[in-house]
Structure 1
Amino acid sequence: SRPSASQQSVSYRQSLPATKQFLEEINKWTSQHGVSPLSWDVAVKFLMARKFDVLRAIELFHSYRETRLREGIVKLQPHEEPLRSELLSGKFTVLGVRDPSGASIALYTAKLHQPSKTGNHVVLQALFYLLDRAVESFETQRNGLVFIYDMAGSNYTNFELDLSKKILNLLKGAFPARLKKVLIVGAPVWFRVPYNLLSLLLKEKLRERVQMVKMSDLRQHLPRDCLPEHLGGCLPLDVHSWNLQLLSEQNGRVDPVDELVGIPLENTSIHVPGPEAMGLAELMAHLNRAQRSGIYLEYEELRREQPPGTFTCALAAHNQERNRYGDVLCLDQTRVRLKRSDYINASFMDGYKQKNAYVGTQGPLEKTYGDFWRMVWEQSVLVIVMTTRTDEGGRRKCGQYWPKEEGGQEVYGHIAVVNHRVDKQAHYNQTTLELHNTETFEQRQVTHFQFLSWPDYGVPSSALSLIDFLGAVKHQQQWAVQAFGSQWRGHPLGPPMVVHCSAGIGRTGTFCALDICLSELQDVGTLNICQTVRRMRAQRAFSIQTPEQYYFCHTAILEHAQRQGLLSANQ
């Protein structure tokens, strides 16, 4: 409900000096990071959640922003899957009544959660979306929120300790609403140990607000007319009505949640956990059931899907000589644009919860060396991953676009490249390069990785050697981002890594797919290879070139899981 005129007047008078101070501080930050300034109404929301204590409200704003960035919850699309299904699942809703103090009552029904089918990411998306809509109400902003965690009828398979931690962390200090209390209702006996673990995580002040309550005692905390019938109240519960109403109201409007985030939208990513994600045991069962022939057929279905975009720029007569292969083109919608000559056969590709984590590109031609290094400079690239040799089977697969020998120097366009050091490993070379921009007199360090054990159109003889190589690449990227320091203000995982083979689709796609899937597996314990490849091909067309490469993704992940002890050898 909207506040009355008198309520608005009181709120305005109360908020005036605090809101001015809050906006002055926060909008210094937004201007430095190139995001939209916060509006007055949004500022008041954070201040009301902290009783107009400006310093605590500023702390809350940054906790909220960092939580959303960490969980990859940046631009919510409630009408798109998998979020729409999660919103309509009945797992979470806000009741149509308030408690006697005027607080909103949110209800989470644990028995409806199936971790094997829905990743934590989607659950948190739904929580953020529905809570954001709930606190649009002035009454909720002023009087706070009561959260009922309904465990009645749930069993151990419905419970995830990590998800529960994230929900409590969200409620206790990363959401612009005052949390009055959390009532854990109908908790089974097995929940005592997890509850003790959760309690240790909570500050004493919040611990007092979190209580385990027997179903029969719930009415001591909330009157019957505030409780649904299945919790001993007299309120008919239609779990879909409020959620459906919000979805219908959402049509055609811009969700204010995007303004609250204070994060540029380029941090969003298509690679997030989806409803069809598999655990490792499910992946193993799928592979055993389908066998190699079934996985090949699955790839064939993906291969037949047409790219969702156009190739106008790549097909332009003046650009065709810059394509290594006439039938391997980059989509207009995702291509990398150079500041001067504009065209290069390279595509931005998302990583796991990271927009533009990679630039997938072809092996540079002699005539495109300058374009390649200009792209590396313009995109602030710190790591280059090469998954081919320059020559294979008597054919040139990629130009020698960097000085190969230690101490070597070459100039490509306006970028001078110096080879400082070459470290030779069993399956790859790691070369430290120093780049000098001859126009701006700036310099930068870039690490070049070349994997040597991967035949064209084939797969590596050792899956684990490639995964170890991937680990070395990611470790170097992490180190380089830290060394880059304040010069980098984008995604915390850093600027895009350039990944290429010869055409920039087969081995390049396989490398990126493994990185995405293994990152998701590490984060939430699930993955979906088919979905990952489909989404990847929507950005770098034709990524993963053969059914053998697609099958290799499955077996490599399982080999890695067995080595890590995540899956026993006899499963």
Structure 2
Amino acid sequence: MVPGADEATQQFLEEINKWTTQHGVSPLSWNAAVKFLMARKFDVYRAIELFHSYRDTRLKEGIVKLKPHEEPLRSELLSGKFIILNVRDPSGASIALFTAKLHQPNKTLQHVVLQALFYLLDQAIESFETQRNGLVFIYDMAGSAYTNFEYDLSKKILHLLKGAFPARLKKVFIVGAPVWFRFPYSVLSLILKEKLRERVQMVKTHELKQHLPRDCLPEHLGGAMKLDHSSWNKQFLTSPNGRTNSLDELITGFPRDEVSIHVPGLEGMTVEELLDHVNTVQKRGIYEEYEDIRRETPPGTFNCSLQPYNQQKNRYGDVLCLDQTRVKLKSLNHDERTDYINASFMDGYKQKNAYIGTQGPLEKTYNDFWRMVWEQHVLVIVMTTRIDESGRKKCGQYWPLDQNTRGNYGLISVKSLAVESFKHYNKTTLEIQNVESHERRQVIHFQYLSWPDYGVPSSATALIDFRSAVRQQQGLSIQSLGNRWKGHPGGPPIVVHCSAGIGRTGTLCTLDICLSQLEDVGTLNIYQTVRRMRTQRAFSIQTPDQYYFCYTAIIEHAQRKNLLSAHH
């Protein structure tokens, strides 16, 4: 063990077990903690980040309870597609081999392949020697065809090895890559962090012997080992239950749908730490942080947004909503083509579906917009754009502007009861009525006026005060419902939109989540918040400026409220 390893493990466990207690997960054992720390050379903060990344990846990919004796995982393990060799390289590292030609994407689901990968890697790192000396990964593409290749799966495997598994990755050898792999590889290498890029090497089959001794390699890769794929992994399936993995305890007991809710994590920063972080990495470092997030591919599909009959309902052809989080309208006359609106549920601080992020309504989608407001019991709408900006139409006039006027939008009739103008925003009280049931409800519409498109507000203070006014209104509206509201105490979703529903919308929601956490526990994490948000409303926060603004706005707010200690 390295000097100070015990203290580091103690510190790591204290932090992690605060989190496990909060989430009702069994506490982490000392041995499991050591795995994460060894993988990050006993850097406690990096090990904590790895722990959360490991947990999030397992939850996101559905790798929750691994049952190696049950199908389909058993067949996947016995296919020999992925094996841990029973020899080590000269440095003592474990050698893992993935044989691409054995993978048939049309027969095996990605998450089953990833389950097998996790299961076998977990077994490999049970060994202290592997924890200490790391892992060499051979991606064997020899003899594989294009039909064996899944770009998305390769990306997930690399992501897993690079930052979501507690093993030190020494080298990745991509062996015998066919000519067609050049292009996917050039795209893949773009998403790799520099440190990992140096460790990934493409080699011809006969060149592998220059990197690893022959007795570490199977015959078909120029080595001396006889390999029988079908019997190889049976060793892991001999015990009646498979060996239980000491890391499974982290995953069990954590509800699947909780993963996207913003809760205080161990990576939270105090405002002092946030200020130090910005001073250390400077604007350029924050821009690079955003670049990191921007490179991540959204974890889902856009099939519904891309249907020909729905494309005209999108304000911008390249701003689509993920199928997994889209707001589904109730279909009209059982026609499923009527359930689409370019709007996504987004989680808030300790609240599922706290917001609906959506585009500025188009004339042809006014009826859909109001139907959504009605169906989701929305009390507050927040608009962060003007109708026209720089001579361009940014949003339709989807509500009656003048007091005591009415607009009819399909099933919903909307009347403007009162309009109040403030320095940076207008607030309109609307009464909406369902024409079929004649039921009436009150909705408050806020329009923020001091935010240039693509740019950032000149005054963070004005925007944060606006956010407080919105929050206060949501509270009052929930109160006025009394016991008619049975849902989350935070109330129904707040609709937030700009023009595309990602830039200013994402920025405002980020500030709201981070400030809510700051008010609650005194910490926040902008990077994690934005990453998580983009898994729900893809591409939220459109520019590095908007991302940087989230940092400066919170610092400005902290200075105004005297939240920073004197030496800052």
TM-score, normalising length from structure 2?
A: 0.57
Shift of 1:251: 7.1
Change (3 A) 1:553 1:438: same
Change (3 A) 1:118 1:462: farther
Report what 2:527 is aligned to. Answer: 530
Q: Is the 8 A contact 1:122 1:273 kept in 2?
A: no
Shift of 1:465: 0.2
Question: Superposed, which structure 2 residues align to 1:271-282 within 5 Å?
Answer: 271-282=262-273
State how far apart, in whole Å, the 1-side matches of 2:349 and 2:449 are: 26
State how far apart, in whole Å, the 2-side matches of 1:488 and 1:118 are: 36
Question: Superposed, which structure 2 residues align to 1:204-219 within 5 Å?
Answer: none
- Aligned letter for 1:445? Q
Report what 2:550 is aligned to. Answer: 553
State how far apart, in whole Å, the 2-side matches of 1:251 and 1:268 are: 16
Q: Does 1:330 align with 2:321?
A: yes
State how far apart, in whole Å, the 1-side matches of 2:521 and 2:26 are: 22
Shift of 1:307: 0.6
Change (3 A) 1:558 1:254: closer
Shift of 1:431: 0.6
- Aligned letter for 1:509? G
Q: Does 1:565 align with 2:550?
A: no
Change (3 A) 1:246 1:561: farther
State how far apart, in whole Å, the 1-side matches of 2:434 and 2:322 are: 29
Q: Does 1:475 align with 2:496?
A: no
| CA RMSD across the alignment | 2.9
Segments of 5+ residues of structure 1 without an aligned counterpart are 1-88, 92-109, 132-244, 259-264
Report what 1:129 is aligned to. Answer: 25
Change (3 A) 1:286 1:90: same
Q: How many residues align?
A: 345
State how far apart, in whole Å, the 2-side matches of 1:520 and 1:119 are: 20
Change (3 A) 1:424 1:298: same
Q: Write out per-residue CA displacement over residues 234-284 of structure 1, whole angstroms, 9 at most, x where no aligned residue.
A: xxxxxxxxxxx99759679974x97xxxxxx87775211122211111110
Q: Write out per-residue CA displacement over residues 97-142 of structure 1, whole angstroms, 9 at most, x where no aligned residue.
A: xxxxxxxxxxxxx974899x669655422xx3349xxxxxxxxxxx
Report what 1:193 is aligned to. Answer: none
State how far apart, in whole Å, the 2-side matches of 1:414 and 1:330 are: 24
Aligned with residue 290 of structure 2, among 292, 295, 299: 299
Q: Does 1:495 align with 2:492?
A: yes
Q: Does 1:511 align with 2:508?
A: yes
| Percent identity of equivalent pairs | 63
State how far apart, in whole Å, the 2-side matches of 1:347 and 1:334 are: 5
Question: Superposed, which structure 2 residues align to 1:92-241 within 5 Å?
Answer: 112=11, 122-125=20-23, 128-130=24-26
Q: Write out per-residue CA displacement over residues 216-250 of structure 1, whole angstroms, 9 at most, x where no aligned residue.
A: xxxxxxxxxxxxxxxxxxxxxxxxxxxxx997596
Change (3 A) 1:122 1:286: farther
Q: Is the 8 A contact 1:121 1:272 kept in 2?
A: no
Q: Is the 8 A contact 1:118 1:277 kept in 2?
A: no
Q: Is the 8 A contact 2:424 2:448 kept in 1?
A: yes
- Aligned letter for 2:271? L
Report what 2:345 is aligned to. Answer: 348
Change (3 A) 1:508 1:567: same
Q: Is the 8 A contact 1:382 1:445 kept in 2?
A: yes
State how far apart, in whole Å, the 1-side matches of 2:251 and 2:386 are: 52
Report what 1:373 is aligned to. Answer: 370
Segments of 5+ residues of structure 2 without an aligned counterpart are 28-242, 332-337
Report what 2:411 is aligned to. Answer: 414
Q: Is the 8 A contact 2:260 2:532 kept in 1?
A: no
State how far apart, in whole Å, the 1-side matches of 2:250 and 2:422 are: 56
SS at match of 1:447: strand
TM-score, normalising length from structure 1?
A: 0.57
Shift of 1:326: 0.1
State how far apart, in whole Å, the 2-side matches of 1:390 and 1:379 are: 24
